[in-house]
A = this chain, B = another copy of it.
Amino acid sequence: MLKQETLSKNQQIVLDYIEKVNEPIKAYSILHNLQKKGIKAPLQVYRALDKLVEIGKIHKIESRNAFVACKNSNCQISKATAFSICESCEEVSEISDSKLSKYLKNFQDKAGMKFNKYNLEFFGLCKKCSVK
């Protein structure tokens, strides 16, 4: 079987919703908001999320247990992610900085471990919140 080209029904429903809300959203919030589309059980959500993360359409914000659509249209690889997170308003944005990603991709652990993936989360105050 060839690599999957198109998303399945549930995967597409979940992705459409995540892209629409355009901010990190939690699995059970997705569940509650997609009842009328036929998404009625946690597993329908988690299965779709798993696949969407795997193919890089969305990312998981680990420190928040939330999911957000990928903004780097060319971020096929879900293997090198970086986010900035406002600790006040919880705004999250995906960092797209080629120097940073190059630096991290090439980072060599002292133990000689070779990495194939990383996730970086920065925390601080966004512009709006830092003037308050």
The residues of A with any CB-CB pair to B shorter than 8 Å are: 62-63, 84, 86-87, 93, 95, 97, 100, 103-104, 107, 109-127, 130
B116 touches A124 (CB 8 A): yes
Cα–Cα, bound, A116→B118 (Å): 20
Task: Tell whether, in the assembled complex, residue A115 and residue B124 are in contact, meaning their CB atoms are under 8 Å apart.
Answer: yes
- How far is A126 from B109 in the complex, measured between Cα atoms in Å? 10
A78 to chain B, nearest CB (A): 11
Q: Report the nearest B residue to A86, measured CB to CB.
A: B113
Given contact pairs A86-B113, A109-B122, a sample of 6 additional A-B residue pairs in the complex whose CB atoms are under 8 Å apart: A84-B111, A97-B110, A113-B126, A115-B123, A116-B123, A117-B123
Name which residue of chain B comes closest to A95, CB basis. Answer: B109
